[in-house]
Structure 1
């Protein structure tokens, strides 16, 4: 059996951690927000690069927190500041349409009047339009995993962790 690495000093420990860090897998992290109006409709963004609409948000940059990412993405893409509320749920997403797997954090962005969208300045490179959509119409506009995610998030007691928008199936369940 090989000898365990020596961690006699801080330099040896840092070198070992740097080696592990360089070899361990990385995973895409996504932060999105659920913003609703007085009619319980959810704000969706019609994107230039996807056929399905999606929640506001985006990919978390290196060394950026998911909440900070969501604030930044909304400022860049919708031209407004929002208060990022509580984490509603998180979900692991399997590979989908050319994207690798990811972890998605869904935050509550609160409620605004429906006419709030009139004050937005959309980034035309990414956002074609924004739409208020009711729960019954989700399936016609968003990806199946996103519809599952929103339905799970809007249950009276949302599950803190999901897989592909569903509660995880554990061995023995």
Structure 2
């Protein structure tokens, strides 16, 4: 049997996009969301993983760049498989627990990143219309995970069976 050359095999492997962010919330479970300047839907702090960058470094880098927050991230609380759509390839999204943040903390943020127009603490019900539906589902799963202390695996924003 002839083996496929290893380099050909590697080139044939599927590539996935990855993103990572953090869930920051206050004592009332309002979540911190950001209004980006480059897309219509709001988001949680975070962004796309650069080539060769693991998700935990991506989340820390993006949060530092977007919000100026440098405190360590908590545990990984959500991994979400994102199916391909007509514009984007399939991917994986990671959410880390950013911990508690107060309205005073948010008011003191010095937003200098031109990608961020504003930040806000909102209840999930108020935030959901501003978020893409998949992200609203993912954030709801992240809130549950933050309370339970358990990692939640999602597909298209929806938790999958354990």
TM-score (norm 2): 0.86
Gaps of 5+ in 2: none
Query: Residue 143 of structure 1 is aligned with which of 129, 132, 137?
Result: 132
Q: In 2, are the aligned partners of 1:89 and 1:161 still within 8 Å (CA)?
A: yes
Q: In 2, are the aligned partners of 1:38 and 1:114 still within 8 Å (CA)?
A: no
The alignment yields a C-alpha RMSD, in angstroms, of 2.2
Q: In 1, are the aligned partners of 2:19 and 2:92 still within 8 Å (CA)?
A: yes
Q: In 1, are the aligned partners of 2:21 and 2:62 still within 8 Å (CA)?
A: no
Query: Residue 110 of structure 1 is aligned with which of 87, 90, 99?
Result: 99
Runs of 4+ in structure 1 off by over 6 angstroms are none
Q: In 1, are the aligned partners of 2:21 and 2:63 still within 8 Å (CA)?
A: no
The total of aligned residue pairs comes to 159
Residue of structure 2 in register with 1:74 after alignment? 63
**CA–CA distance in structure 1, aligned partners of residues 60 and 151 of structure 2:** 24
Structure showing greater relative contact order (alpha-carbon pairs closer than 8 Å, 6 or more residues apart):
2
Q: In 2, are the aligned partners of 1:30 and 1:58 still within 8 Å (CA)?
A: yes
State the Cα deviation string for residues 47-101 of structure 1 (Å, max 9, x = none). Answer: 0111111000011112211111111011112122132111111111123572222
Q: In 1, are the aligned partners of 2:80 and 2:93 still within 8 Å (CA)?
A: yes
Q: In 2, are the aligned partners of 1:74 and 1:82 still within 8 Å (CA)?
A: no
TM-score (norm 1): 0.81
Gaps of 5+ in 1: 6-14
Query: Residue 119 of structure 1 is aligned with which of 108, 114, 136?
Result: 108
State the Cα deviation string for residues 14-42 of structure 1 (Å, max 9, x = none). Answer: x72x4332331210011011001222210
